[in-house]
Amino acid sequence: MSKIWSALFIIGVLVSLIGGHGGEIMGTLTESAGSAVTLCLTLAGAYVLWLGLMGIAERSGLTQSLAKKLRPILRFLFPGVPDGHAAQALISMNLSANILGMGNAATPFGLEAMQEMQKLNRAPKRATNAMCMLLIVNASSIQLVPTTVISLRAAAGAANPADIVPATIAATFVTTLVAIVIGKVLEKYS
């Protein structure tokens, strides 16, 4: 991450200078930093809502029973997370929110899951296999209802904005399987 980040940063500044946009560098940097803060405020709203509701679901036993139902999948994908561990419930919440296209809810659950998985990590600077798998599954996107795309299609005047749903479900299913297989293979060599 350190290499990728510094490469983006340094190349960005150098190319701006060479291209004669040197004067705009500070503006771009400040604007990006500002948009990060704006994004965090938006996220804060979503986190308050979803972590609040999860507080209820945790105490009523809903998250644990969801985790129990998903246990076969969780055991296969995240063998490093023991049955009944708090991370298991959070991972199932994250996966379910993703599947339902609730991106705003998936993130706080995922971050809480990372927090719990870090407690199982013996080398805190190094990602565990389970953490990598959670990221790989999240990055491949497993949503059944692509809410953002549907609303953009509706805005663009599509005859039937949701007609891409079956193709997206098929695509997302196959791509997630591909991602899981590649993740399982590569985790042995990294």
Partner 1 sequence: MSAVTLIGALLVPALIVLVVVHGLIKGVDVYQAFIDGAKRALPTVARVLPYIAAITIAVGIFRASGALDAVLSVVAPPFEALGIPREVLPLELLRPFSGSASNALLQDVFMQYGPDSDVGRLASVLMGSSETLFYTVALYFGSVGVTKTRHTISASLIAEFFSVILIVNFVKYFF
Least gap, CB of 53 to partner 1 (angstroms) = 5
Choose, by CB under 8 A, the member of 31, 79, 83, 84 that binds partner 1: 31
Subset of residues 1 to 20 that bind partner 1, contact rule: CB under 8 A: 1-2, 4-5, 8-9, 11-16, 19
Subset of residues 125 to 184 that bind partner 1, contact rule: CB under 8 A: 125-127, 131-132, 134-136, 138-141, 143, 145-150, 152-168, 170-172, 174-175, 178-179, 182-183
CB under 8 Å to 130, separation ≥6 — which residues? 77, 78, 79, 80, 81, 87, 117, 120
Instruction: Give the count of residues interacting with partner 1 (CB under 8 A).
Output: 106
Least gap, CB of 82 to partner 1 (angstroms) = 18
Closest CA relative to residue 85, chosen from 120, 52, 110, 54: 120
Assess contact for 117 and 130: CB atoms under 8 A: yes
Say which residue the tokens 């997370």 belong to.
Answer: 81
The dihedral of CA 58, 65, 138, 97: what is its sign?
negative
Choose, by CB under 8 A, the member of 81, 86, 101, 130 that binds partner 1: 101
Assess contact for 150 and 161: CB atoms under 8 A: yes
Q: In 62-101, which positions are buried (b, 16+ CB within 10 angstroms) versus exposed (e)?
A: ebbebbeebeeebeebbeebeeebbbbbbbbbbbbbbeeb
Binding flag, residue 48, partner 1 (CB under 8 A) = yes
* Nearest to partner 1 of 55, 84 (CB atom): 55
Classify residue 100 by its DSSP letter.
T
Subset of residues 62 to 91 that bind partner 1, contact rule: CB under 8 A: 62
* Nearest to partner 1 of 77, 108 (CB atom): 108
* Nearest to partner 1 of 57, 71 (CB atom): 57
* Nearest to partner 1 of 68, 187 (CB atom): 187
